[in-house]
Structure 1
Amino acid sequence: MSKVNIGTVQMSCVADKAVNLQRALEKIKEAAEKGAQIVCLQELFTSLYFCDEENYDNFALAESIPGPSTDALSKIAAEHNIVIIASLFEKRTQGLYHNTTAVIDADGSYLGKYRKMHIPDDPGFYEKFYFTPGDLGYKVFKTRFATVGVLICWDQWYPEAARITALMGAEVLFYPTAIGWAITQDAGTNTEQYNAWQTIQRSHAVANGIPVVSINRVGEEAGVRFWGGSFISNGFGSLLYQAPHDEEETQVTQIDLNQSDYYRSHWPFLRDRRIDSYNLITKRFIDED
């Protein structure tokens, strides 16, 4: 297919997992009724963003994948003939947890999972306490409507992750996200941070010639105001859609996958890559001596 309708669900969350899942299912249905073919949810949409603290009780929020949430998502995917990209807290086995995104095809079948590779550890974002780094590598999923690449939140700052996923054949990059401002932070810093966040992801679109879809949450949780601002850019970084910073919104935006051939032909970054010169990228840092 050339043109694909992308549904983005930007929502706030509460402490009750069942409530969050039910609201997400309703919003997926809303997106489907608006014509969405692929719907992406924000990072860890079934709960509050629990990584604001190091608390062993929060491990009880995790679940198997496939599991109860993917079962519910598979049912609605099949009912509405839509692909669903869903970020969940995965319990792999006792004492081993991942930040994971499941992909459900339009017939309700479970296509597989991607485990977040880059794990942050900052005040209010203590993800290393909870998540083991991904060990599945970068992934693409051949869905009914497009071959999608999935990365998660902190992954979005790394051009290497976007490049590898694009080289694996992704036609669209999806970034489920949970990121926000400290409520005490000044407006100038807030603006600078949001602009950097959007710019780096639009740069991935330009460098790889494919659309980027980034979905964030909204609402205030534990001293953080999640900044929303979910957006979609085309393969040359132009904004096709941007959500508000402080409101829930379910939106459907059409993208044209055929544009990638145009952008990659006229701006042949893939052609001109000097793959013979990139071996140093695997080093942590390059010391002069």
Structure 2
Amino acid sequence: MSRSTLRVALLQHANQGDAASNLDLIATRIAEAAEQGAQLVLLQELHNGAYFCQTEDTACFDDAEPIPGPSTQRLGEIARQHQVVIVASLFEQRAAGLYHNTAVVLEKDGTLAGRYRKMHIPDDPGFYEKFYFTPGDLGFTPIDTSVGRLGVLVCWDQWYPEAARLMALAGAELLLYPTAIGWDMRDDGGERIRQRDAWLTIQRSHAVANGIPVLSCNRVGFETSPQQDDPGIQFWGSSFVAGPQGEWLAQAGETAQTLIVDVDMARSESVRRIWPFLRDRRIDAYADLTKRFID
């Protein structure tokens, strides 16, 4: 690899039943990725267990933990052992009754490089996240690491061009999205295709509009809903890495898989020279973007 090449790994997997089992699997997969030269590892959203937001249940708060806490300690040990930077996703208990959907970045020496609290919180059938998570208050601030400045966002954030743009304007060299998204089992085949295509398209557009690579890691497998009238979610996987023109560098299927991809970190500069979107922005004309709606 050249000095400008960053080898990344995306760990796409199904829920293993509990935090210990999921972290054991993650440790094994990171060891395998590090053996293949991975320097940066991206995990999926809320990887320690099932996607519990399919229902509103106060007992689920028992699974939240402080940051730093047990999971950051374990992940830090894995990062230090294999000399990789890890982007992980945890259910953070900040204080009594105050919880966040939080991404953490572990440096290759095992230290906590930074965190990002999910800013956009959905509230849809099967995705009742507003019951659990307070919107983030850390802003769209990239996290500096030994492998670059990382623009870490989380799942629902991926639908918002404003979030990607602000990360890019703050100097992010990569956009990374831990994700948990899948199909409602009541949707027909056509609707499933449209939803997945929209998910892929919006994130590739962030790469194009900002001239930087995008990494998105989604979970796989079917997870039942605790609600009797809800058929559950089939997580569609399809984790991917796109280059700064939205080009596919790698894409996973719908089963457990580790994507290992070489990303040319120097390419963003050459792309931005021919597509100077940041140069031509009309920042003098965008004040209305801070309004909810223009009547």
Q: TM-score range by the shorter chain?
A: over 0.9
Please say which of residues 133-142 and 116-125 is displaced more in the overlay. 133-142
Unaligned runs of 5+ in 1: none
Per-residue CA deviation, residues 23-68 of structure 1 (Å, 9 max, x unaligned), is 1111111111111100000000001000000000000110011111
Aligned length: 286
Question: What aligned pairs does 1:24-63 form with structure 2 within 5 A after superposition?
Answer: 24-63=26-65
SS in 2 for 1:58: helix
183, 186, 191: which one aligns with 2:185 = 183
Q: TM-score, normalised by structure 1?
A: 0.98
* Mapped contact 1:81–1:106 kept (Cα < 8 A): yes
- In the TM superposition, residue 14 of structure 1 has moved relative to its aligned partner by 3.3
Are 1:234 and 2:214 matched, yes or no? no
- In the TM superposition, residue 184 of structure 1 has moved relative to its aligned partner by 2.5
SS in 2 for 1:107: coil
RMSD of aligned Cα (Å): 0.8
Are 1:135 and 2:137 matched, yes or no? yes
- How many angstroms apart in 1 are the aligned matches of 2:219 and 2:191? 19
Are 1:219 and 2:228 matched, yes or no? no
Unaligned runs of 5+ in 2: 225-231
Are 1:192 and 2:200 matched, yes or no? no
- How many angstroms apart in 1 are the aligned matches of 2:72 and 2:114? 11
Per-residue CA deviation, residues 84-140 of structure 1 (Å, 9 max, x unaligned), is 000000000111000000001111111111000000000000000000000111121
Counting aligned pairs with the same residue, the percent is 57
- In the TM superposition, residue 188 of structure 1 has moved relative to its aligned partner by 1.0
SS in 2 for 1:111: strand
2:209 corresponding residue in structure 1: 207
Q: TM-score, normalised by structure 2?
A: 0.96
SS in 2 for 1:24: helix
Per-residue CA deviation, residues 120-176 of structure 1 (Å, 9 max, x unaligned), is 000000000000000111121111111111000000000000000011110000000
1:150 corresponding residue in structure 2: 152
Alignment-mate amino acid for residue 259 of structure 2: Q
SS in 2 for 1:136: coil
2:292 corresponding residue in structure 1: 284
Please say which of residues 137-146 and 260-269 is displaced more in the overlay. 137-146
SS in 2 for 1:43: coil
* Mapped contact 1:30–1:250 kept (Cα < 8 A): no
SS in 2 for 1:255: strand
